Structure 1
Amino acid sequence: KLANHIAKTIPDLGGVCDLSDEDERAAWLCRIHVGEVWGIGRASLAKLEAMGVDSIADLRDLDPRPVRKAMTVVGERIIHELRGVCCLPLELMPAQRKGCAVTRSFSSRIEDRATMEQAVSAHATRLGEKLRRGGLGTNHVSVFYHTSEHDRGDPMRSVSTTVTLPEATNDTLALIKAALEGVTRTWREAPGDRPWRYSKAGVITTDLKLLEESQRALIGQLDRERSAPLMAAMDECNRRFGLGAVVPARAGLETKRTWSTKFEMRSPRYTTQISELPTAHA
């Protein structure tokens, strides 16, 4: 970061700064204001200036103990890092995903149960695709849907529930079944003449785990041997022919989903959609 800052602010270097030499690096630390250090904000800068700190070298040479009192452990860590001591280990592998959610606002309000079931089934289908991509599974699915606070005069309602599965899975059919159970638990007809007009729904799951390492159920065990090749075939079709080419019937055909999110203001997808490539005219 120091080399990058110097290369950008000193035109004579031509955009290249090499700080591999220790003496060269130390010389630059004396010339750059401490406020340029990443992690030193306005409040921290005022505290350091009160300690007589002006340059990065001044900060590096401070006693870490008073800095920790003034700037917490973050300030002490900065001092050690300026001295070449690694305080945070390098993560060579990305952390495993802990949760996953698929939520969408509807392009038009949903008033009937059948359409709501189709919407949450489509969300559960997308959730299964995301889980399989990481080899993850879940043993519970939370379903929610609610009306919009911007629909003035309409009755308001917001509900959510969590459905527990017998064991962790990423099978789309099992996730859809759980999502539909969530709708069954929470759906109510409006008491008056005016129906609830729902504006958004979603499915959420947390505490994800690697499917191959998850514990199998003693009772109600899912048929993974049958599910795995079926899900793999569906994912391959969607990769080859486009997202949504093959979906369970409960999720509905994408071209006939009256509730789907509108993308009227979306930027052209030049890198993923051939039909949206710009056309040059002679």
Structure 2
Amino acid sequence: GLSCVELETAPQPRKEIACTRSFGHPVQSLRELTQAVTDFTSRAAEKLRAQSSHAAQVLVFIHTSPHRRGEPQYSRAVTVPLRRSTADTALLLEAVLYGLRAIYREGFNFAKAGVHLLELCPANLNQHELDLDDARPSRDRLMQAMDTLNHRFGRGAVQLGTAALTSEQREWAMRQELKTPQYTTRLADMPVAVS
């Protein structure tokens, strides 16, 4: 046959990485929103490092549910430029939390939040500044160790201090009681036959 589409040997790196979620129940407190965006930032940063990229900007957004007509509505997003592009979870989170504090307002039932990593560039093409202390090699090793431990022992084995430590503290998390079991990728979901 005649090939109409060229076969790609490696997927193109993403131009933007996002991690957004709807909450399991409405969230009002800044503490819960901080925990949620910390989790989202960590996941997005893992994806960023997996494709060997750095981000130069972060976008954080929060909004209420448009389906709850009797409640006051609020929706805001802010883009925060980074001083230099990075894949360091702590530096990305610092910018995300700065943005979250700028857009957060009390008295609203937030239904969704998210983090976008923008202006991605290959990690090896990163431009350095003369006036900045370059602790990057040790930070890169720290992020690599964090990713390795989370891959080996499960997501969330090593996390930042603003994250919710246990599932009980993650009251904002999506409800997944009716989630389909993952028989092919998760050993705990494998059906067991007993005679």
- What TM-score, normalized to structure 2? 0.92
- 2:118 matches 1:206: yes
> What is the Cα deviation at residue 233 of structure 1?
1.0
| Cα distance in 2 for residues equivalent to 1:222 and 1:247 | 23
- 2:172 matches 1:259: yes
Deviation string 1:62-95 (CA, Å, 9 cap, x unpaired) is xxxxxxxxxxxxxxxxxxxxxx6x7765433322
| Cα distance in 2 for residues equivalent to 1:254 and 1:212 | 36
> What is the Cα deviation at residue 96 of structure 1?
2.1
- What is the aligned residue count? 194
Deviation string 1:11-37 (CA, Å, 9 cap, x unpaired) is xxxxxxxxxxxxxxxxxxxxxxxxxxx
> What is the Cα deviation at residue 196 of structure 1?
0.4
The counterpart of 2:40, out of the listed 117, 123, 127, is: 123
> What is the Cα deviation at residue 133 of structure 1?
0.6
**Residue aligning to 2:146:** 234
> What is the Cα deviation at residue 168 of structure 1?
1.1
Q: Cα 1:126–1:250, aligned 2, differ >3 Å: closer, same or farther?
A: same
Q: Contact (CA 8 Å) 1:268, 1:276: kept in 2 or not? A: yes
Could you say which structure has the greater relative contact order, defined with CA pairs below 8 angstroms and 6 or more residues apart?
A: 2
Deviation string 1:231-262 (CA, Å, 9 cap, x unpaired) is 11111111111111111121221412000111
| Cα distance in 1 for residues equivalent to 2:122 and 2:59 | 19
Higher strand residue share: 2
Q: Contact (CA 8 Å) 2:64, 2:112: kept in 1 or not? A: yes
Output the aligned Cα RMSD: 1.8
| Cα distance in 1 for residues equivalent to 2:133 and 2:70 | 48
The percent of aligned pairs where both chains have the same amino acid is 38
Q: Contact (CA 8 Å) 2:56, 2:118: kept in 1 or not? A: no
5+ unaligned residues in a row in structure 1: which ranges?
Answer: 3-83, 190-194
Q: Contact (CA 8 Å) 2:60, 2:96: kept in 1 or not? A: yes
> What is the Cα deviation at residue 97 of structure 1?
1.5
- 2:6 matches 1:93: no
- 2:181 matches 1:268: yes
> What is the Cα deviation at residue 111 of structure 1?
0.5
| Cα distance in 2 for residues equivalent to 1:107 and 1:169 | 31
Q: Cα 1:237–1:182, aligned 2, differ >3 Å: closer, same or farther?
A: same
Higher helix residue share: 1
Q: Cα 1:206–1:199, aligned 2, differ >3 Å: closer, same or farther?
A: same
Q: Secondary structure of 1:200's partner? A: strand
- What TM-score, normalized to structure 1? 0.65
| Cα distance in 1 for residues equivalent to 2:157 and 2:74 | 34
> What is the Cα deviation at residue 222 of structure 1?
5.3
Q: Cα 1:221–1:87, aligned 2, differ >3 Å: closer, same or farther?
A: farther
Q: Secondary structure of 2:156's partner? A: coil
Q: Secondary structure of 1:138's partner? A: strand
Q: Cα 1:88–1:141, aligned 2, differ >3 Å: closer, same or farther?
A: same
Deviation string 1:136-178 (CA, Å, 9 cap, x unpaired) is 1101100000000112211000000011111111111111111
> What is the Cα deviation at residue 266 of structure 1?
1.4
| Cα distance in 1 for residues equivalent to 2:186 and 2:5 | 41
| Cα distance in 1 for residues equivalent to 2:94 and 2:178 | 34
- 2:101 matches 1:184: yes
Q: Contact (CA 8 Å) 2:19, 2:114: kept in 1 or not? A: yes
